[in-house]
A = this chain, B = another copy of it.
Amino acid sequence: MAMSAPTSPHSFLLQNPNRHHLPTTKPISLHPSPRPTKPISITCLASVQVHDRPAAAAQDRVFNFAAGPAILPESVLRKAESELYNWRGSGMSVMEMSHRGKEFLSIIQKAESDLRSLLSIPSDYAVLFLQGGATTQFAAIPLNLCTQSDPVDFVVTGSWGDKAFKEASKYCKPTLIWSGKSEKYTKIPCFDDLEQNPHAKYLHICANETIHGVEFKNYPTPKNGLMVADMSSNFCSKPVDVSKFGLIYAGAQKNVGPSGVTIVIIRKDLIGNAQEITPVMLDYKIHADNNSLYNTPPCYGIYMCGLVFEDLLAQGGLVEVEKKNVKKAKILYDAIDESKGFYRCPVEKSVRSLMNVPFTLEKAELEAEFVKEAAKEKMVQLKGHRSVGGMRASIYNAMPLAGVEKLVAFMKDFQARHA
């Protein structure tokens, strides 16, 4: 899809002043817009309302550091807004479309094709758009890949990996071959030290632990079986060699869309061996054979993921996206490390997440004040997860550099006032 690349929202509006008023089939820029400059002054009152709106609305917008559901690209939201009532002249909203109609088929097929481009997914892998979140996959994966007696290895580096391990115990024989729990989930193990079971059907990891901010920078090699990874919170944040994995799964609501869509990328030869007790909706074969249309899929969520995939491609793909994420994370971690202990990140430096940055205050009694003052400055959802406390800044793909710069400036000011 060809895209124009305006330098600011205003330049686009001048090209197409009707943008927010009449449904259009013209492609619009999906590049992130810089923060708005002063609105252009135009005499006609109604016209001022028209042109003034994006600037005014963007000024009203907060920087949302939530861990998920999370910030979406502003340009994607504008595109969705412009198409919500009448999708590209179809006469209906995407929310009203039959999932078997040609309009929605074009949406889901393009979403899959763009995702395949982004991650260079090999043709011997199926891409499934499912429901139920990663938590449903915690059951579906052993139900589809194992018999009740099959051994599976788990490396648990945070709460989500631990949940996956506990759920798997209903459907196979999982072994915890490494856990970071005693060190409060701040580390990734040395792969050479892992005592893998040579008969394990797969080795399960959570590639990025959303709560603890621990991220695998490279991946262990299974002794014999497959690699299975929960990539919910760093999916599409950087390139991944899909061919190294038997199965990758991710909830969409961190980096690629709204909640309610779960993406499973699975090597096709692994499909078709589900246990008899597997609910039909958890059987990958059913979904693969029906191109994710066995029953009604979460159509609007898939549409939104498709808009995000277009945006990521328009940015130059995941190599470029990773560069931006590295830059944002460095600014934030540097601010923490250079605070002389005023701010602290408990995670081992080599495995700190590019997506979720947990940190504490030396003076813990100031944490509530920090979160409160930040919210006044329109930086929201900075409170740490209830299980670990402190603060957490989730800086997914859609968080602009400006958001991280504003947070760092606030942190320095807060420190100056409270050191």
Binding site for B on A (CB under 8 A): 17-18, 20-23, 44-47, 49-50, 53, 56-57, 60-62, 64, 66-72, 77-78, 80-81, 84-86, 89-93, 95-99, 101, 131-136, 138-140, 143, 167, 170-171, 251, 253, 257-261, 276-277, 279-282, 294-301, 304, 378, 380-381
Contact = CB atoms under 8 A, between A and B. Distances in A.
B170 A60 contact: no
A319 B224 CA distance: 63
Main SS at interface, chain A: loop
A356 to B, nearest CB: 13
Ranked nearest first, the 6 interchain pairs of A and B with the lowest CB-CB distance are A260-B298, A46-B47, A62-B91, A139-B279, A95-B258, A66-B98
Nearest to A90: B62
A404 to B, nearest CB: 17
Given A139-B281, A260-B260, A277-B277, A101 B66 contact: yes
A71 to B, nearest CB: 5
A106 to B, nearest CB: 15
A22 B57 CA distance: 7
A381 to B, nearest CB: 5
Contacts of A140: 279
Given A91-B378, A138-B280, 4 more contacts: A60-B91, A61-B92, A260-B260, A260-B261
A78 B85 CA distance: 7
Contacts of A300: 258-260, 300-301
A22 B69 contact: no
Contacts of A143: 279
A328 to B, nearest CB: 17
Contact of A21 (B20, B68, B261, B296): B20
A260 B299 CA distance: 7
Contacts of A277: 170-171, 277
Contacts of A95: 69, 72, 77, 257-259, 304
Given A91-B61, A280-B167, A69 B135 contact: no
A315 B169 CA distance: 50
Given A71-B96, A299-B259, A60 B86 contact: yes
B92 A64 contact: yes
27 contacts: A17-B46, A20-B21, A44-B46, A60-B86, A61-B86, A61-B91, A61-B92, A64-B92, A71-B96, A81-B85, A84-B84, A95-B257, A131-B260, A132-B136, A133-B296, A135-B280, A138-B280, A171-B277, A251-B296, A258-B300, A259-B296, A259-B298, A260-B260, A260-B261, A260-B297, A260-B299, A260-B301
B91 A80 contact: no
A299 B85 contact: no
A60 B261 CA distance: 30
B49 A49 contact: no
Contacts of A98: 66-70, 381
A69 B131 contact: no
Nearest to A70: B96
Contacts of A295: 133-135
Given A57-B22, A280-B167, A77 B93 contact: yes
Contact of A77 (B18, B44, B85, B280): B85
B280 A139 contact: yes
Contacts of A261: 260
A84 B66 CA distance: 18
A92 B62 contact: yes
B136 A297 contact: no
A405 B17 CA distance: 37
A68 B296 contact: yes
A325 to B, nearest CB: 18
A284 B352 CA distance: 36
Contacts of A136: 131-132, 279, 281
Contacts of A21: 20-21, 49-50, 53
